[in-house]
Amino acid sequence: MLIFIQGIFIVKAIFFMLFASTFFILPVQSEIVDLKIDQRQSKTKDKYIKSAHSIINHDLSIDEIRFAILNAALTSNNVKWLLEEDGQGYVILRWDYSMAVIYTKVEYNEKSVQLKYFDAFDDFRCENNVDGICYKNENGKYYTYMQQLRTAIIDEL
């Protein structure tokens, strides 16, 4: 009986640690700020950084802009993004193809939207990430898919 109770306690402790780690590691809402490219950073060309991370201004309600972002994720130039997380003022979208993955945090408020680097694997990994702005990707593929998502969001507005 004592072993059974200890086993239940261990299972509950493991469940709590998993739940607590999931709860406390979630990203917090960030402030959307104008893109100012730091020229001191090791980086790719400015036009690629701007194509992925420049602010998109809008005049929609919070619910309307969230819907536009989610709709754009499904209609982005033959690239479908999956919703990974939905929080207050942001969504995290995932795109994956044959073990290559991009996680993008799309932040939004009542005035603007901004795409930020969250995580990636293989050719899409950001080599110089500063506050969600990817300054350097080895082969530039990251910027192509981010630009497509950004354009799809603009088209939805």
Within 13 Å, how many C-alpha atoms sit on residue 28's CB side?
3
Q: pLDDT tens digits for 91-142?
A: 999 998 877 899 999 999 999 999 999 999 988 999 999 999 999 998 888 9
Question: From residue 67, how far is each of 11, 63, 71, 114, 144 by CA, in Å?
Answer: 39, 6, 6, 15, 23
Per the DSSP assignment, residues forming a β-bridge with 83 are 93
H/E segment holding residue 118: strand 112-120
pLDDT at position 102: 93
Find the range with the poorest average confidence among 20-24, 28-32, 153-157: 20-24
pTM: 0.78
**Which domains are seen in the chain, by residue range?**
2-156 (3.30.310)
Q: What is the pLDDT of residues 38-66, one digit of tens each?
A: 999 989 999 999 999 999 999 999 999 99
